[in-house]
Protein backbone atom coordinates (compact mmCIF):
# COMPACT_ATOMS: atom_id res chain seq x y z
CA UNK A 1 0.00 0.00 0.00
CA UNK A 2 2.34 2.67 -1.24
CA UNK A 3 1.58 6.21 -0.21
CA UNK A 4 1.98 7.55 -3.78
CA UNK A 5 -0.23 5.03 -5.51
CA UNK A 6 -3.40 6.71 -6.68
CA UNK A 7 -4.17 4.19 -9.37
CA UNK A 8 -6.69 1.56 -8.46
CA UNK A 9 -6.17 -2.01 -9.44
CA UNK A 10 -8.56 -1.84 -12.38
CA UNK A 11 -6.57 1.06 -13.71
CA UNK A 12 -9.00 3.84 -13.08
CA UNK A 13 -7.48 7.02 -11.79
CA UNK A 14 -8.61 7.71 -8.28
CA UNK A 15 -8.26 11.19 -6.93
CA UNK A 16 -10.49 10.47 -3.97
CA UNK A 17 -9.34 10.09 -0.38
CA UNK A 18 -11.43 6.98 -0.01
CA UNK A 19 -14.07 5.38 -2.14
CA UNK A 20 -16.75 2.74 -1.60
CA UNK A 21 -17.84 0.58 -4.49
CA UNK A 22 -20.92 -1.54 -4.27
CA UNK A 23 -20.41 -1.85 -0.52
CA UNK A 24 -22.78 -4.05 1.48
CA UNK A 25 -22.36 -4.77 5.18
CA UNK A 26 -23.93 -7.74 6.91
CA UNK A 27 -24.51 -8.53 10.57
CA UNK A 28 -24.79 -12.28 10.38
CA UNK A 29 -27.49 -12.89 7.77
CA UNK A 30 -28.95 -9.44 8.11
CA UNK A 31 -27.90 -6.96 5.43
CA UNK A 32 -27.55 -3.62 7.18
CA UNK A 33 -26.53 -1.54 4.16
CA UNK A 34 -26.54 -2.41 0.51
CA UNK A 35 -24.80 -1.35 -2.67
CA UNK A 36 -23.20 1.85 -1.52
CA UNK A 37 -21.17 3.78 -4.08
CA UNK A 38 -19.52 6.84 -2.59
CA UNK A 39 -16.40 8.88 -3.28
CA UNK A 40 -14.92 11.23 -0.73
CA UNK A 41 -12.85 14.18 -1.84
CA UNK A 42 -9.50 15.01 -0.29
CA UNK A 43 -9.51 17.76 2.35
CA UNK A 44 -13.26 18.09 2.22
CA UNK A 45 -15.95 17.52 4.83
CA UNK A 46 -18.59 15.04 3.84
CA UNK A 47 -21.67 14.62 5.98
CA UNK A 48 -23.64 11.37 6.11
CA UNK A 49 -27.25 12.03 7.07
CA UNK A 50 -30.38 9.97 7.24
CA UNK A 51 -33.01 8.62 9.62
CA UNK A 52 -32.11 6.34 12.51
CA UNK A 53 -31.20 2.80 11.57
CA UNK A 54 -30.35 3.62 7.96
CA UNK A 55 -26.80 2.36 8.36
CA UNK A 56 -24.79 5.56 8.13
CA UNK A 57 -22.71 4.65 11.19
CA UNK A 58 -22.20 1.17 9.81
CA UNK A 59 -20.90 2.64 6.56
CA UNK A 60 -18.62 5.01 8.44
CA UNK A 61 -17.22 2.25 10.63
CA UNK A 62 -16.50 0.07 7.65
CA UNK A 63 -14.06 2.69 6.34
CA UNK A 64 -11.53 1.85 9.05
CA UNK A 65 -12.72 -1.69 9.58
CA UNK A 66 -14.05 -0.98 13.06
CA UNK A 67 -16.85 -3.39 12.20
CA UNK A 68 -14.22 -6.13 12.56
CA UNK A 69 -14.67 -5.74 16.31
CA UNK A 70 -18.18 -7.12 15.92
CA UNK A 71 -17.62 -10.83 15.35
CA UNK A 72 -20.67 -11.41 13.14
CA UNK A 73 -20.14 -8.41 10.86
CA UNK A 74 -18.67 -8.71 7.39
CA UNK A 75 -18.50 -6.49 4.35
CA UNK A 76 -18.87 -7.17 0.63
CA UNK A 77 -17.81 -4.93 -2.18
CA UNK A 78 -14.76 -2.70 -2.24
CA UNK A 79 -13.46 0.17 -0.20
CA UNK A 80 -10.58 1.71 -2.07
CA UNK A 81 -7.94 3.54 -0.10
CA UNK A 82 -4.89 4.53 -2.16
CA UNK A 83 -6.16 2.17 -4.80
CA UNK A 84 -6.24 -0.84 -2.55
CA UNK A 85 -9.34 -2.58 -1.26
CA UNK A 86 -9.02 -2.38 2.51
CA UNK A 87 -11.20 -5.44 2.95
CA UNK A 88 -8.61 -7.62 1.20
CA UNK A 89 -7.18 -10.47 3.20
CA UNK A 90 -3.63 -9.13 3.07
CA UNK A 91 -4.55 -5.73 4.52
CA UNK A 92 -3.76 -5.21 8.19
CA UNK A 93 -6.74 -3.46 9.84
CA UNK A 94 -4.39 -1.98 12.44
CA UNK A 95 -2.48 -0.21 9.65
CA UNK A 96 -5.76 1.07 8.21
CA UNK A 97 -6.86 2.46 11.55
CA UNK A 98 -3.53 4.20 11.99
CA UNK A 99 -4.14 6.10 8.77
CA UNK A 100 -7.87 6.58 9.17
CA UNK A 101 -8.61 7.93 12.63
CA UNK A 102 -11.92 7.95 14.38
CA UNK A 103 -13.88 10.11 16.84
CA UNK A 104 -16.85 8.52 18.55
CA UNK A 105 -20.32 9.66 19.46
CA UNK A 106 -19.72 9.67 23.19
CA UNK A 107 -16.47 11.26 24.33
CA UNK A 108 -14.30 8.34 25.39
CA UNK A 109 -10.99 9.60 26.74
CA UNK A 110 -8.76 6.99 28.35
CA UNK A 111 -8.79 7.00 32.15
CA UNK A 112 -5.28 8.40 32.05
CA UNK A 113 -3.78 11.86 32.20
CA UNK A 114 -4.63 14.36 29.47
CA UNK A 115 -1.01 14.22 28.30
CA UNK A 116 -1.05 10.42 28.15
CA UNK A 117 -4.34 10.47 26.24
CA UNK A 118 -2.68 12.34 23.39
CA UNK A 119 0.76 10.79 23.62
CA UNK A 120 -0.33 7.16 23.79
CA UNK A 121 -1.61 6.99 20.20
CA UNK A 122 1.62 8.48 18.88
CA UNK A 123 3.67 6.10 21.00
CA UNK A 124 2.01 2.96 19.69
CA UNK A 125 2.28 4.35 16.17
CA UNK A 126 6.03 4.22 16.44
CA UNK A 127 6.75 7.79 17.51
CA UNK A 128 10.43 7.69 18.38
CA UNK A 129 11.05 11.31 19.30
CA UNK A 130 12.52 12.63 22.52
CA UNK A 131 10.50 13.85 25.48
CA UNK A 132 10.71 17.41 24.14
CA UNK A 133 9.45 16.36 20.73
CA UNK A 134 6.61 14.45 22.33
CA UNK A 135 5.73 17.50 24.42
CA UNK A 136 5.67 19.54 21.22
CA UNK A 137 3.46 16.98 19.48
CA UNK A 138 1.03 16.88 22.40
CA UNK A 139 0.84 20.67 22.50
CA UNK A 140 0.39 20.96 18.74
CA UNK A 141 -2.36 18.34 18.69
CA UNK A 142 -4.17 19.97 21.59
CA UNK A 143 -3.85 23.38 19.89
CA UNK A 144 -5.15 21.98 16.61
CA UNK A 145 -8.09 20.55 18.51
CA UNK A 146 -8.73 23.98 20.11
CA UNK A 147 -8.48 22.60 23.62
CA UNK A 148 -4.95 23.67 24.56
CA UNK A 149 -5.98 26.77 26.47
CA UNK A 150 -8.38 24.73 28.60
CA UNK A 151 -5.92 22.03 29.56
CA UNK A 152 -2.42 23.50 29.39
CA UNK A 153 -2.22 23.89 33.17
CA UNK A 154 -3.51 20.43 34.03
CA UNK A 155 -1.93 18.06 31.55
CA UNK A 156 -1.27 15.52 34.29
CA UNK A 157 -4.88 15.41 35.42
CA UNK A 158 -7.27 12.70 34.32
CA UNK A 159 -9.03 13.12 30.99
CA UNK A 160 -12.26 12.57 32.89
CA UNK A 161 -11.78 15.82 34.80
CA UNK A 162 -12.77 17.78 31.68
CA UNK A 163 -16.27 18.79 30.55
CA UNK A 164 -18.01 16.81 27.82
CA UNK A 165 -17.10 19.26 25.07
CA UNK A 166 -13.50 19.43 26.24
CA UNK A 167 -13.38 15.65 26.41
CA UNK A 168 -14.57 15.39 22.84
CA UNK A 169 -11.95 17.88 21.67
CA UNK A 170 -9.39 15.90 23.63
CA UNK A 171 -10.51 12.84 21.68
CA UNK A 172 -10.07 14.78 18.44
CA UNK A 173 -6.59 15.85 19.59
CA UNK A 174 -5.84 12.21 20.35
CA UNK A 175 -6.97 11.22 16.86
CA UNK A 176 -4.91 13.87 15.06
CA UNK A 177 -1.79 13.19 17.14
CA UNK A 178 -1.29 10.04 15.09
CA UNK A 179 -1.37 12.16 11.89
CA UNK A 180 -4.07 10.24 10.02
CA UNK A 181 -5.12 11.07 6.46
CA UNK A 182 -8.82 10.74 7.10
CA UNK A 183 -10.81 11.37 10.28
CA UNK A 184 -14.12 9.58 10.71
CA UNK A 185 -16.52 11.26 13.10
CA UNK A 186 -19.56 9.36 14.34
CA UNK A 187 -22.01 12.02 15.55
CA UNK A 188 -19.22 13.79 17.45
CA UNK A 189 -21.48 16.52 18.84
CA UNK A 190 -24.64 14.63 19.62
CA UNK A 191 -23.80 14.23 23.30
CA UNK A 192 -22.81 17.88 23.73
CA UNK A 193 -24.55 21.14 24.54
CA UNK A 194 -25.16 23.72 21.74
CA UNK A 195 -22.11 25.85 22.58
CA UNK A 196 -19.77 22.87 22.66
CA UNK A 197 -21.38 21.67 19.45
CA UNK A 198 -20.65 24.98 17.79
CA UNK A 199 -17.02 24.86 18.86
CA UNK A 200 -16.66 21.33 17.51
CA UNK A 201 -18.15 22.48 14.19
CA UNK A 202 -15.70 25.38 14.01
CA UNK A 203 -12.90 22.99 14.82
CA UNK A 204 -13.95 20.65 12.03
CA UNK A 205 -13.76 23.56 9.59
CA UNK A 206 -10.19 24.26 10.68
CA UNK A 207 -9.19 20.62 10.49
CA UNK A 208 -10.24 20.20 6.87
CA UNK A 209 -7.16 22.09 5.82
CA UNK A 210 -5.09 19.02 6.67
CA UNK A 211 -7.52 16.15 6.84
CA UNK A 212 -10.33 14.59 4.89
CA UNK A 213 -13.31 14.42 7.21
CA UNK A 214 -16.33 12.11 7.13
CA UNK A 215 -18.98 13.01 9.62
CA UNK A 216 -22.16 11.19 10.53
CA UNK A 217 -24.80 13.48 11.94
CA UNK A 218 -28.41 13.39 12.98
CA UNK A 219 -28.59 17.12 12.85
CA UNK A 220 -29.48 18.49 9.40
CA UNK A 221 -28.56 22.05 10.34
CA UNK A 222 -25.16 20.79 11.32
CA UNK A 223 -24.74 19.02 7.99
CA UNK A 224 -25.84 22.13 6.15
CA UNK A 225 -23.55 24.42 8.16
CA UNK A 226 -20.47 22.35 8.48
CA UNK A 227 -20.04 20.15 5.41
CA UNK A 228 -18.96 20.51 1.79
CA UNK A 229 -20.71 17.39 0.56
CA UNK A 230 -23.70 15.51 1.90
CA UNK A 231 -24.80 11.94 1.39
CA UNK A 232 -28.37 11.09 2.27
CA UNK A 233 -29.15 7.53 3.32
CA UNK A 234 -32.50 5.90 3.83
CA UNK A 235 -33.79 2.55 4.97
CA UNK A 236 -35.32 0.37 2.32
CA UNK A 237 -38.33 -1.91 2.78
CA UNK A 238 -35.98 -4.84 3.54
CA UNK A 239 -34.56 -2.69 6.38
CA UNK A 240 -31.25 -2.37 4.59
CA UNK A 241 -29.79 1.12 4.33
CA UNK A 242 -29.02 2.51 0.89
CA UNK A 243 -27.68 5.73 -0.55
CA UNK A 244 -30.45 7.98 -1.86
CA UNK A 245 -28.57 11.03 -2.99
CA UNK A 246 -25.06 12.39 -2.84
CA UNK A 247 -24.15 15.91 -3.85
CA UNK A 248 -22.51 19.13 -2.78
CA UNK A 249 -24.18 20.27 0.40
CA UNK A 250 -25.57 23.51 -1.04
CA UNK A 251 -27.02 21.70 -3.99
CA UNK A 252 -28.51 18.91 -1.95
CA UNK A 253 -30.19 21.19 0.52
CA UNK A 254 -31.44 23.78 -1.93
CA UNK A 255 -32.20 21.64 -4.91
CA UNK A 256 -32.67 17.99 -3.94
CA UNK A 257 -33.06 15.70 -6.91
CA UNK A 258 -34.81 12.93 -5.03
CA UNK A 259 -38.26 13.35 -3.55
CA UNK A 260 -37.26 11.44 -0.42
CA UNK A 261 -34.36 13.81 0.18
CA UNK A 262 -36.67 16.75 -0.07
CA UNK A 263 -39.11 15.20 2.37
CA UNK A 264 -36.33 14.44 4.81
CA UNK A 265 -34.64 17.84 4.75
CA UNK A 266 -37.94 19.60 5.07
CA UNK A 267 -38.66 17.50 8.12
CA UNK A 268 -41.56 15.44 6.81
CA UNK A 269 -40.06 12.14 8.05
CA UNK A 270 -37.07 10.77 9.89
Partner 1 sequence: MTREQVENLMVNAADWNEVNPDWPSLATAKYIPAETSGTMDFFVENFFLEQTLQDISYDGLVSLFAANVSAGRCKAVESEQRFYADRLVCDTEESFQARCESANPPTGCTLEPRDHASMEDLVYADIVQPVVLKSWFLIESLLNRSEISAEIAREYPSAEMKFKRWLTWDFVVSPQSSVPELAGVRTAILGSLWLVGIAILFAFPLGVGAAIYLEEYADKTNRFNQIIQTNINNLAGVPSIIYGLLGLAVFVRALEPITSGCVFGVVDCTVANGRTVLSGGLTLGLMVLPVIIISSQEAIRAVPSSLREASMGLGATKWQTVWSHVLPNAIGAILTGVILAMSRVIGETAPLVVVGAATFINTDPTTPFAKFTSLPTQIYQWTARPQQTFLNIAGAAIIVLLILLFVLNATAIFLRNRYSKRLG
Contacting residues toward partner 1, per CB under 8 A: 64, 66, 69, 71, 94-95, 97-99, 101-102, 104, 106, 108-111, 120-121, 124-125, 158, 171, 174-175, 178
CA atoms within 13 A on the CB side of 138: 22
Angle at the Cα of 141 (from 136 to 145), degrees rounded to 5? 145
- In the beta sheet, which residues pair with residue 48? 216, 231
- Whichever of 42 and 124 has its CB closer to partner 1, that residue is 124
- Whichever of 101 and 165 has its CB closer to partner 1, that residue is 101
Q: How far is the CB of 110 from partner 1 (least distance, A)?
A: 6
- Whichever of 94 and 136 has its CB closer to partner 1, that residue is 94
Distances (CA, A) of 104 to 37, 58, 186, 214: 24, 13, 5, 12
Q: How far is the CB of 71 from partner 1 (least distance, A)?
A: 7
- Whichever of 5 and 157 has its CB closer to partner 1, that residue is 157
Q: How far is the CB of 257 from partner 1 (least distance, A)?
A: 34
Distance CA 110, CA 98 (A): 17
- In the beta sheet, which residues pair with residue 112? none
Which residue, 55, 13, 57, 20, is CA-closest to 40? 20
Q: How far is the CB of 267 from partner 1 (least distance, A)?
A: 31
Distance CA 72, CA 49 (A): 25
Q: How far is the CB of 238 from partner 1 (least distance, A)?
A: 25
**Rg of the chain over CA atoms, in angstroms?**
19
- Whichever of 7 and 124 has its CB closer to partner 1, that residue is 124
Total Cβ atoms within 10 A of residue 165? 21
- Whichever of 125 and 219 has its CB closer to partner 1, that residue is 125
b/e code 196-233 from CB counts within 10 Å (16+ = b): bbbbbbebbeebbeebbbbbbbbbbebbbebbbbbbbb
Q: How far is the CB of 233 from partner 1 (least distance, A)?
A: 22
Amino acid sequence: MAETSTVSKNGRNSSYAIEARDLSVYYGDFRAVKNIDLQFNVNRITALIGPSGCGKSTVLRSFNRMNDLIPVAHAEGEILFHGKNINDQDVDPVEIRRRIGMVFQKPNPFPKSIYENVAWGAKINGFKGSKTEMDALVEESLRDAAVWDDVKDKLDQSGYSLSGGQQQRLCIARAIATRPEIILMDEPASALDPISTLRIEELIQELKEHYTILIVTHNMQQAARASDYTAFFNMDTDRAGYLVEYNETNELFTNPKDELTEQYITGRFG
